[in-house]
């Protein structure tokens, strides 16, 4: 999918240590771009309080298809959308782009289950968070 398919796009510069021995950003690091764009949005738009909030999002499943290499010092743009919003879980779609490029270099998805911070049992997505997630559908 193209960048316009993602309602929220965040710029994430690569770091020196993102590159692995083959000279490109390691596959693992793509997932750190995923949870960075997701959590930035949850904090800024959905009111997630990572230190003291009563409900937090835990990753239940994730997936990535790697379409083209990224390499330091390129700048990544991570696009985020919501593919499915359930009672206590959400599935995001993420597309990674190189700054200035139109074709995605990776596409993935990521499932958050919202849980009570103390019990770690699933809870319904709170109202403010649900409103914010709905804007990405």
* Nearest-angstrom CA–CA distance, 10 and 33: 10
Task: Point out which span in 17-25, 79-87, 88-96, 122-130 binds a copy of itself (CB under 8 A).
Answer: 17-25
The one among 1, 2, 5, 50 contacting a copy of itself by CB under 8 A:
50
The one among 3, 8, 9, 32 contacting a copy of itself by CB under 8 A:
32
Under the binding rule (CB under 8 A), the answer on residue 72 touching a copy of itself is yes
Under the binding rule (CB under 8 A), the answer on residue 65 touching a copy of itself is yes
Q: Contact residues for a copy of itself (CB under 8 A)?
A: 11-13, 15-17, 19-23, 26-29, 31-36, 38-40, 43-44, 50-51, 56, 58-66, 72-73
């Amino acid at each position: 999918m193209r960048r316009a398919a993602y309602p929220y796009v965040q710029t994430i510069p690569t770091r020196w240590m993102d590159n692995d021995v083959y000279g490109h950003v390691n596959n693992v690091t793509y997932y750190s771009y995923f949870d960075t764009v997701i959590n930035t949005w949850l904090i800024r738009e959905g009111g997630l309080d990572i230190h003291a909030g009563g409900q937090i999002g835990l990753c239940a499943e994730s997936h990535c298809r790697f379409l083209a290499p990224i390499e330091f010092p390129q700048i990544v743009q991570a696009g985020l959308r919501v593919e499915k919003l359930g009672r206590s879980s959400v599935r995001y779609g993420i597309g990674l782009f190189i700054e200035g490029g139109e074709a995605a270099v990776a596409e993935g998805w990521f499932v958050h289950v919202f849980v009570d911070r103390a019990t770690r049992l699933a809870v319904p997505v709170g109202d403010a968070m649900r409103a914010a997630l709905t804007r990405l559908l």
